[in-house]
Structure 1
Amino acid sequence: MKKLNKIGYLILLVSICFSCGNKSKTAESNIKEDKAVQQPNIVFILSDDQSWTDYGFMGNENIETPRLDQFASESLTFTRGYVPTPLCSPSLATIITGLYPKDHGIIGNDKVYERKGNRKENRAKAYKPVIEAFEKQTTLPDMLKEKGYLSFQTGKWWHGNYKVGGFDYGMTHGNPNRGGRHGDFGLQIGRKGLDTINSYVDLALKEKKPFFLWYAPFLPHQPHTPPQRLLDKYLPKAPTEYIAKYWAMCEWFDETCGQLFDMFEEKGLTENTLFVYVCDNGWVQEPNKNTYVKTSKRAPYDLGIRTPIMYKWQVK
């Protein structure tokens, strides 16, 4: 595992990604046909509610995460990364905009709203100004679109329809009257396979365009409903059933990451794809309750905001 403390190297890595389109007109004309090849595809993998301690490569001896362990060994890995908040929505908004919550305006999962009457309508009404303000922000998909990228949203997404974030295609409709709050149909990704991602990638290949993929599955987030085979694996060694379920969810998430890596390998896309990994916020499972320890999620401590951050670009 490569461990670097110099932020300058990270800045250099990111700048390389965006330098592809900053060539002279003459150079652009000479490499026009190879543009899609030279511009790397970009995949963001976002874990949801997972402690920084809960990976094999971070020293956990109970939870098995073989695919992410391998990924870490092949990546530029920052083991002491941090997100700005210990809560999903503002953290994800920062990741997609590069702004602090005070600047992008998302400072919580929900606005305070009237609990009497139609709660869905009341929440939507209270949250509408937040989404309208967020829509004015420049996001990573917005910037990549200027470079010719297609952007695909799957999984967790709090801020209305996927188009609000600048994505070209997405799974989240964001309509509160149809159950939209933090991902709706997008939350099926990973838990019910990766077919949608496969279709998106094939579309980009057909159009011969580089692409950005947002893979933010509802994993290992509650509900903790892992496959029975994984639960049976952890029940004998976990102190309680609640912890066994959480451990099993972490391995299930790891499996889906492996399926994603395998898909890209089979399509011959691994070498020219920049993979980025981060978790939105932490989680420590309460041993005897279906909830989290109060010093983890929603708390401004390491267990709430620390995460490994990894970058892998094989061709580099």
Structure 2
Amino acid sequence: MGNGGRLMDRREFLKSLTGAAASFCLGASVSCDRGKPAQSASTMPNIVLFIADDLGWKDLSYYGNSNITTPNIDRIAAEGMLFTNAFVTASSCSPSRASILTGQYPHSNGVTGLTHVRKRLMLSPFHRTFPELLAKSGMETAFEGKWHVAPYFPTGWYGYRQRLSGVLPKDFLIRSSERAVEFIRANRNNPFYLELNYMDTHRDDAGEFHFVPQFPVDADTISVPDYYTLPDWPEVRLDLAKYYSNLLLMDSMIGTVLDALDRNRISEKTLVCFVSDNGPPFPGNKMTLYDRGMAVPLIFRWPGKIEAGTRSNALASTIDIMPTLLEASGIPAPESAQGKPLLRLLQAENESAFREAVFAEMTYHVNYLPMRAARTRKWKYIRNYSDDPVGLDQCSHMAWARKICELPNQGWLRPRAPEELYDLENDPHEQTNLVADPARLQDLAAMRHLLDEHMRSTRDPFLGKSFDQRQ
């Protein structure tokens, strides 16, 4: 599970084909030597990062879900700060996770689609990641679970000294907290970074969820959340109940990790972050740039540094996680990082001027799905670069999912329009496209300009591309 030895310069390492082959088999730890540690490791906090897979924005009870109770993740929120307006950079696993690690938008770090499908899109080992910078500053770094950023490259190239789970996809599912608890015990006297990537709320390879016997959920006692914008049909509720059952399993395992921090008396010096990689795996949610696809739960807990039970309404992006964790550790963020540290918000400073807008994008998921979005507090503007339908992803085999697409507001199998504009204050579920409304021409022009400026400043290759009518 662990990797010993010095951290090598990855350029030096890649010159040796023999060494590369060996490290691929062994998961050897490799990292660039980019200077002296910014501060003594003894003054750095421990960091635990929980990343959920396909977990919806408001699916936790602390975010208002009355269908179930998630006591352990709720505990993180009750003892820390919850962000009510946090967004991913892409509503797809690989691009979203690469943005968390690099602090960059997908078109900047090159991970613009699912990397197990398009291997050429795997994150280059020459990109800086925050686990690498933490490791170079003296932290013991480890991860367990899903590795979807560069699944065919060794994780040591990205700063992880230890890999607590196997290298095959069948080993990505975390089945218990045993290894995480042991890692915490073994490193309780030294600063560490532990990343836990749960897959429980992701559908299996057949596109299904299955009930977890220890966590039953009665489909007849729940309702489909309004923000999903799906009909409250029995078939949808049954699928949702299975999804919730798996969410409760993840919540339980997170509770075991939190208990281990308490038992080893290091909770007070541990920064905990919880986030999801995109919206829930239901039609019209994941893979879209509506709020239900790009908005995610984001929670930080750091006793003595973050006031318990606080909320921030600031517009936050998951590219902010990298600079936030580095700043908390006393490490300067690299110039390549495009996010902003959230520590000032975490310490209750003014949030209104933090950010005017967040931006998100899609280029590929499994299929080509090019779009870009700008989101302010009031407006959402989506620019589609082709009319390719969003599709149903892993729900495409389900009769109820295809039946849903016959409804007027469920056009996931129909061609997309070139542009979309939504008034989030009056239409939070983004049901009425105002692009053709003459009264909104000025607002449309402003949002177009906002997105263009973002694309120009980040050198997005889609800037200036025309709409491709392929259907």
Query: What's the TM-score bracket when you normalise by the shorter of the two chains?
Result: 0.7 to 0.9
Q: Identify which of 265, 268, 272 aligns with 1:268.
A: 265
Number of aligned pairs? 249
Q: In 2, Cα distance between the equivalents of 1:76 and 1:315? A: 12
- Is 1:155 aligned to residue 140 of structure 2? no
Q: 1:213: Cα distance to partner?
A: 0.6
Give TM-score, length-normalised by structure 1.
0.73
Q: Secondary structure at the match of 1:164?
A: coil
Q: Secondary structure at the match of 2:131?
A: helix
- Is 1:234 aligned to residue 224 of structure 2? no
Q: Identify which of 88, 101, 106 aligns with 2:93.
A: 88
Q: 1:184: Cα distance to partner?
A: 4.1
Q: Deviations over 1:199-253 (max 9, x none)?
A: 2223323xx431111111112112323422422x423414432121112122222
In structure 1, the partner of 2:452 is none
Q: Percentage identity across aligned positions?
A: 27
Given that 1:50 and 1:282 are in contact with CA atoms closer than 8 Å, whether structure 2 keeps it comes out as yes
In structure 1, the partner of 2:279 is 282
Which amino acid is the alignment partner of residue 228 of structure 1? P
The runs of 5 or more residues in structure 1 that have no matched partner are: 1-20, 29-34, 112-122, 175-179, 285-291
Q: Deviations over 1:260-314 (max 9, x none)?
A: 1111111111000000111000015xxxxxxx21x21111111111012111111
Given that 2:38 and 2:137 are in contact with CA atoms closer than 8 Å, whether structure 1 keeps it comes out as no
Q: 1:155: Cα distance to partner?
A: 1.1
Q: Identify which of 103, 115, 118 aligns with 2:108.
A: 103
The structure 1 segments of at least 4 consecutive aligned residues displaced by more than 4 Å after TM superposition are none
Moved more, 233-242 or 154-163: 233-242
Which amino acid is the alignment partner of residue 222 of structure 1? R
Q: Secondary structure at the match of 1:148?
A: coil
In structure 2, the partner of 1:200 is 183
Structure 1 residues 215 and 236: alpha-carbon distance in aligned structure 2, compared to 1, 3 A threshold? same
The runs of 5 or more residues in structure 2 that have no matched partner are: 1-36, 223-233, 306-471
Q: In 1, Cα distance between the equivalents of 2:76 and 2:185? A: 23
Q: Secondary structure at the match of 1:307?
A: coil
Given that 2:114 and 2:121 are in contact with CA atoms closer than 8 Å, whether structure 1 keeps it comes out as no
Q: Which has the higher helix share?
A: 1
Q: In 2, Cα distance between the equivalents of 1:230 and 1:186? A: 21
Q: Identify which of 130, 137, 148 aligns with 2:127.
A: 137
- Is 1:212 aligned to residue 201 of structure 2? no
Greater relative contact order structure (CA < 8 Å, 6+ sep): 1
Q: Secondary structure at the match of 1:61?
A: coil
- Is 1:61 aligned to residue 50 of structure 2? no
Which amino acid is the alignment partner of residue 186 of structure 2? L
In structure 1, the partner of 2:315 is none
Q: In 2, Cα distance between the equivalents of 1:94 and 1:226? A: 32
Q: 1:173: Cα distance to partner?
A: 5.2
Given that 1:234 and 1:248 are in contact with CA atoms closer than 8 Å, whether structure 2 keeps it comes out as no
Structure 1 residues 163 and 130: alpha-carbon distance in aligned structure 2, compared to 1, 3 A threshold? farther
Give TM-score, length-normalised by structure 2.
0.50
Structure 1 residues 235 and 229: alpha-carbon distance in aligned structure 2, compared to 1, 3 A threshold? farther
Q: Secondary structure at the match of 2:51?
A: strand
Which amino acid is the alignment partner of residue 135 of structure 1? P
Q: Secondary structure at the match of 2:69?
A: coil
